[in-house]
Amino acid sequence: MFEREDDVVERVIQQLRRPVTIDPGLDARVMREVADAPRAKPRVWPLWSLLATAAVLGTLLITHPWTRDDQSGPAAFQFVFVAPQAASVSLVGDFNDWDPKRSPMQTAQGVWATVVNLAPGRYRYAFLVNGVEWRADPGAPSAKDDEFGTPSSVVTVGGSGS
Amino acid sequence: MGIDKVEPSDAELVRRVRTGDIGAYGALVSRYRDRLGRYAVHMIGDHEDAEEALQDSFVRAYRSLARCYDPARFGAWLYGILVNRCRTTGARAARRRRMFVHDADALNGATHADQADRVEWTDTVDRALARLAPEYREAFLLKHVEDLEYEQIAELTGAGISALKMRVKRAREQLQKYLREAEHV
């Protein structure tokens, strides 16, 4: 004779809600890694090529290609984002610790732009609109490896792909 | 009456970490390790893989703390990282599931017969859970074990609420079926 479905599932739930023993050393391992690895450090790959970034929002489309002469060191790159209705836009990414205060964008008739120095490498980035709205760059490849639940894009500096 | 210890909020701890107080991150790890660990163990099935996923999630969260735009909801944000990490692990490992006793302390003091029954029941539940499709297991655990609202689960998983309700319903039906089969073995 079987229990009612709800009773059986309820027993399963009660079983699964029991505490699970986690290795007490886990906290120390986490803290060791944390101490060794500063926050949001840019990841750099030894890639060689150029990349352009464009941004599209609303009805406007602006493509802003960039070039650089020196491929061995940091170079200035301009990021452009079109958001006529926005009160503020910040560029956030691996290169600025995802801190919106470090790369606020300046606007001219709804076209927002800022310049950052990037060394060769691969960077994830996004635009933060009005301090709350997270936007990927529609003119650049999506960051497929983003696990933080918000859209972001990828730029590869000095590499052949993205 | 007396002196109550007031624990700092998540938002306060995140603020401290951002100003360079690494120790405050230890408090966050300590606060969330058991609850998140339980989810990882049930979701992944293998205890070692689950602890690795948990550790990795904590480290990733620290490295990307600037992206936690609502520090008061640090826990929900961290959950999202772990849910994704568990998916990756689940897809990579072919569910090297091991049987283990979930609550060793709770077994202390029980009679041998009770103990045997409980271990058997624990294994039965583990096996039934392991047979669920990952998306069913994920929805079932988040809804019924972690006690999250469907809106929160939708935010964490990216799935729609009606799809999640269907997954939970199917998970319940399948668990019932698998447990019945186990009774006949």
Pick B81's closest partner by Cβ from A5, A30, A148: A148
* pLDDT tens digit at each of 185 positions of chain B: 455 556 799 999 999 998 888 888 989 999 999 999 999 999 999 899 999 999 999 999 998 888 888 899 999 999 999 999 998 876 555 444 444 434 444 444 445 566 667 778 888 899 999 999 999 999 999 999 999 999 999 998 889 999 999 999 999 999 999 988 887 65
Binary contact (B38, A19; C-beta < 8 A): yes
Residues of chain A with CATH 2.60.40.10: 53-157
* Chain A residue numbers touching B63 (CB-CB < 8 A): 37-41
* Chain B residue numbers touching A29 (CB-CB < 8 A): 55
* Mean pLDDT comparison of A28-37, A82-91, B54-63, highest-scoring range: B54-63
B70: in domain: yes
Binary contact (A40, B64; C-beta < 8 A): yes
B162: in domain: no
Fold of A53-157: Immunoglobulin-like (2.60.40)
ipTM comes to: 0.81
Q: What is the CA radius of gyration of chain A?
A: 22
Looking at the 3D structure of chain B, how many domains does it have?
A: 1
Name the minimum distance, in Å, from the CA of A86 to any CA of chain B.
18
Amino acid letter for position A49: S
Residue B64 sits in a domain whose CATH number is 1.10.1740.10
Cα first-last separation, chain A: 60
Amino acid letter for position A16: L
CA distance B107 to B99: 16
Domain range spanning residue B22? 1-98
B104: in domain: no
